[in-house]
Amino acid sequence: MVEDLIGSRRGLLFILSSPSGAGKSTISRSLLADEPNLTFSVSATTRAPRPNEQDGREYFFKTRAEFEAMIEAGELLEHAEVFGNLYGTPISPVEAAIANGQDVLFDIDWQGGQQIANSTLQDAVVSVFILPPSLAELEKRLKSRAQDSDDIIAGRMAKSMGEINHWSEYDYVLVNRDLDECAAEVTDILQAERLRRRRRPGLVEFVQKLNREFEGSTS
């Protein structure tokens, strides 16, 4: 395969943001299931686990004191307060993954996306924002989850527009009218970004080899 000849590349940081309920988690899951070279960045959070969430799988669940100690120790690539809870991205798994050529998927809000886009890893960042098809649909999706109280849902609806208004800071913006179609678009973005010239350091050597072969064939 040509890819094998072209050599390894540094992984990319694939940021997916959207207001809660726009389908981001479902799209993340389908992407992770289909893409063996993509790992999920498990965030730390001070919010309580929801039913079916496991420590270390969806999140690392921390007390506020534990979370603040992580900030103090410089263990987080970014952190932000979202809906009254702290969320943050542990840095060391991200660095290890991209050094190994693994891409990393982030399900984080606009504040985290902005911090990573301005970090020392900014060259590796690709960001995608997912919009709901309408506010009514967003509300319907939030209600059908039934995992949070009405108060929390109302609070999230109120904040959704705030999140949505950051759409223009992202590289790609998709409208999730159909989950499968939107997931396919996200996959296409990932594939195209992997093929960017600047992410393929082995190309220089590959083309030099083509030149050597050409010179050999004409001498």
Torsion of CA 159, 161, 166, 167, to 10 degrees: 130
Parallel/antiparallel/unpaired status of strands 38-40 and 59-61: unpaired
Q: How far is the CB of 148 from ligand 5GP (least distance, A)?
A: 8
**Which residues sit opposite 45 in a β-bridge?**
61, 87
Point out which span in 62-70, 79-87, 138-146, 171-179 binds ligand 5GP (CB under 6 A).
Answer: 79-87
- Cβ nearer to ligand 5GP, comparing 95 with 203: 95
Provide, rounded to whole angstroms, the least separation between the CB of residue 164 and ligand 5GP: 12
Whole-angstrom distance, CA of residue 78 vs CA of residue 87: 9
Residue 82 contacts ligand 5GP per CB under 6 A: yes
Taking CB under 6 A as the rule, which mask of x and - marks residues 110-129 in contact with ligand 5GP?
-xx-----------------
- Residue 20 or residue 176: which is nearer to ligand 5GP going by CB? 20
Q: At 57, which amino acid appears?
A: R
The answer to whether the CB of 103 falls within 8 A of the CB of 39 is yes
Name the residue number minimizing CB distance to ligand 5GP.
112
Q: Which residue of 26, 30, 35, 47 would you call a contact of ligand 5GP, by CB under 6 A?
A: 47
Residue with Cβ nearer ligand 5GP (89 or 127): 89
Q: Is the CB of 5 or the CB of 71 nearer to ligand 5GP?
A: 71
Site for ligand 5GP contains 88 (CB under 6 A): yes
Task: Kindly state whether residue 108 participates in binding ligand 5GP, applying the rule CB under 6 A.
Answer: yes
124 vs 168: CA distance, rounded Å:
19
Least separation in angstroms between CB 107 and ligand 5GP: 5
Residue 15, phi then psi, degrees to nearest 5: -100, 125
Is residue 43 close enough to count as binding ligand 5GP by CB under 6 A? yes
Number of residues that bind ligand 5GP (CB under 6 A): 14
C-alpha 87/C-alpha 109 separation (Å) is 9
Residues lying near ligand 5GP in the complex (CB under 6 A): 20, 43, 47, 78, 80, 82, 87-89, 107-109, 111-112
